[in-house]
Structure 1
Amino acid sequence: MIRLFLSSAFPLRQRLAVFPRRCFSSHVGIKASDPLRVLFCGSDAFSCESLRTLHREHESNRRLIESLDVMVLPPRRTGRGFKEITEVPCKSVAEHLGLRIHQRETFRGWSIPEGTNLIVVVSFGLFVPPRILNSAKYGGLNVHPSLLPHLRGPAPIHHAMMRNEKYTGVSLQTLDPKAFDHGVVLAQTPSPGIPIPAGTTLQQLTESLAKVGAEMLVQGLRDGVHVPPYTSVEWMANQLKGEKLVHAPKVSKGESQINWPEWNSTDVARFLNIFNTVWTHARNDKGKFKRVLFLDAESVSEHGVTGRSEEILFRFERGNEGHDVQRNVRVDDEHDAFYIQMADESWVRVRNVKVDGKTTQGARIGMREFMKKMK
């Protein structure tokens, strides 16, 4: 049987344009399976979509999914001073669906619910040890938002966008008992992948891939891909043979620092779409460097750039070194506009900024202390 895993989140016309008559085999025939007693392990919004879809299948097809339990991590302290306690989104979804919840920070000293025969892990954060995997007849499955083995790791969507990749996708894999993201790929978005639309945000792409992954997971269970012997379908592995694989580690605030020596205007807009803000250091009229957040910016044509010419000295920090870079800026007082010229001489219009120690301001006002007139 041939399956084409494409989400309804992508319009039909776009799907047909991207994948004309292209399919792939996710399995050989439909394998018989015992009714599944699933332990679902999830945390964030990406995993919530798979949980909802599994629950719908459980409600409509008890012969496939007989029971569904949920394991989530304990709440975390967040916010300034870590005073707020935040539950993972998956817990509230499980409560709303009336599912039995197991809240734990480790598998150590714990056994899965009696009768569990499949573990499904989606964006969970904990490694499932061999002892747990071996206690479930069908082991475990994982939905991973990349074309494995490309972008193994906890932040594949971030890294796909940061690398300005044109395509991405989803893989359904078995859980490996020794390492994250090294299982057998049982289903995968067909070549060349799902296009990453220009101007998309991290949230938009995550929501779209979550739907693709949820559909792939449930269809895989219907087709019995979780029943050994497994059939690998990872076309990307063959394409990457002999190449160094790219990992997708957790991202930090440092990733959203403006790289003045290299970034162009579209890089600024893209990183804003990923992190919501980008930041830099700028030297003020007292000779002191202060941290500045750009909250809203867009790439603009040079023909639309007007106003008086000024200069600002920015600093890009890499490791323990700081690289000072002078950039031309234009200030249009009449239209309350502020523009910065990037490395390739393209222009960015910045609308709102937040300077350390101050509230959010319009960029024309907020950046005044850093400007000096061009000679």
Structure 2
Amino acid sequence: MRIIFMGSPAFAVPSLNALVEAGHEVVAAYCQPPRPAGRGKTERKTAVHERAEQLGIEVRAPRTLRDDEEQARFRGLDADLAVVAAYGLILPKPILEAPKAGCINVHASLLPRWRGAAPIQRAILGGDEISGVTLMRMDEGLDTGPMLARQTLDIRHKNAGQVSEELANLGARMLVDWLDNPTPAKPQPIAGATYASKIGKGEARIDWSKPAEEVERQVRAFDPVPGAWFEVGGERIKLLEAAVGSDASGTPGEVLDECLSVACGRGYIRPLKVQRAGRGAMTPGELLRGFPIPKGTILP
């Protein structure tokens, strides 16, 4: 089958690999353009861009798919199908209709829950115990198309990086299985639809007035990026891993002991792994040896 692959981050790479390994002809890979990243602000290619080049697949990275010339180039590939996985651009109607069999999407949630840009983080923040992958036929709505397959994954106690990797591999298997044995599409149910909006910059800052369970979910949802953080002494400290404690008598934000336990609106957080700017991950004990945060300190 002649397939156009459309994806950008590491989540999409297993699906691209699976298509190639299954013997499909991937005629082009569409991904987000390289963008400045890191301290040097050098342009960095997406994970799909790099992998497609390794596989000898033509890479296209347009900034928009809305102009006539780009749509004509897309049609010129004469594809049987387009496969989309975390691409990052809205597909206009002419693109959706160009492949003979349309476009299908590997989406990292159990639709209709968590339609949109950040389903993994929103599922963890929302306290979901189960997530999964939905394979869907795309339409002009935002993740509203009919479903082709769904599989679940237990996401309890996992961070976003772990969930993303597991869902990426699950989605890749589902994709090639469905291509080998297509099943009819089923409309998404109307009930239970939620929207997974993009993660705002301010959401990663820890609010100690929230219950400890919510703070712990925030830590997992933003690990590895952007990293949940708090500020002390004018320095930003990332909290990479934490446990929840149920009994605390301090004011929210108060450091309770020499292990850097912090009181929350209900319960407390016991950090397990932290990180200073420009340093590697470390235990709270390692942090406190070089960066004292005395008991009784109130973290903002």
Q: TM-score, normalised by structure 1?
A: 0.67
| Aligned equivalent of 2:163 | 205
Amino acid at match of 1:133: L
Alignment of structure 1 residues 70-149 onto 2, 5 Å: 70-80=29-39, 83-107=41-65, 108=67, 109-110=69-70, 111-112=73-74, 113-149=76-112
1:5-35: per-residue Cα shift (whole Å, max 9, x none)?
Answer: xxxxxxxxxxxxxxxxxxxxxxxxxxxxxxx
1:127, distance to aligned residue in structure 2 (A) = 1.3
CA-CA distance at 1:93 after TM superposition = 0.9
Match for 1:232: what amino acid?
Answer: K
Report how far residue 39 of structure 1 moved. 0.7
Cα offsets for 1:206-262 (capped at 9, x unmatched): 11101111111111111234xxxx53065xx2xx62x5x321011123222212222
In structure 2, which of residues 210, 214, 219 is the aligned counterpart of residue 272 of structure 1?
A: 219
Q: Secondary structure at the match of 1:280?
A: strand
Deviation string, structure 1 residues 299-320 (Cα, Å, up to 9, x no partner): 26689x9xxx9x8x8xxxxxxx
Percent identical among aligned pairs is: 27
Give the whole-Å Cα distance in 1 for the aligned partners of 2:16 and 2:221: 25
Paired position in structure 1 for 2:194: 246
1:292 to 220, 233, 236: 236
The whole-number CA distance in structure 1 between the counterparts of 2:205 and 2:229 is 5
Q: How many residue pairs were aligned?
A: 284
1-structure distance, mates of 2:185, 2:272:
51
Letter in 1 for 2:145: G
Structure 1 gaps, min length 5? 1-35, 59-64, 285-289, 314-324, 332-336
Secondary structure of the 2:169 match is helix
Distance in 1 (alpha carbons) for counterparts of 2:82 and 2:114: 23
Aligned pairs for 1:1-375 within 5 A: 36-58=1-23, 65-80=24-39, 83-107=41-65, 108=67, 109-110=69-70, 111-112=73-74, 113-176=76-139, 178-189=140-151, 193-198=152-157, 200-225=158-183, 230-232=184-186, 234=188, 237=189, 241=191, 245-264=193-212, 266-276=213-223, 277-282=227-232, 290=234, 292-299=236-243, 325=252, 327-331=254-258, 337-349=259-271, 352=274, 354=276, 362-363=287-288, 366-368=291-293, 371=296
| Paired amino acid for 2:180 | R
Provide the secondary structure at the position in 2 that maps to 1:338. coil
5+ residue gaps, structure 2: none
Decide whether aligned partners of structure 1 residues 158 and 302 sit closer, same or farther in structure 2, where only a CA change above 3 A counts: closer
Specify the structure having the higher radius of gyration (Cα). 1
The structure-2 alpha-carbon separation of the partners of 1:367 and 1:258, relative to structure 1 and needing over 3 Å to count, comes to farther
Aligned 8 A contact 2:2 2:27 in 1:
yes
Q: What is the alpha-carbon root mean square deviation over aligned residues?
A: 3.0
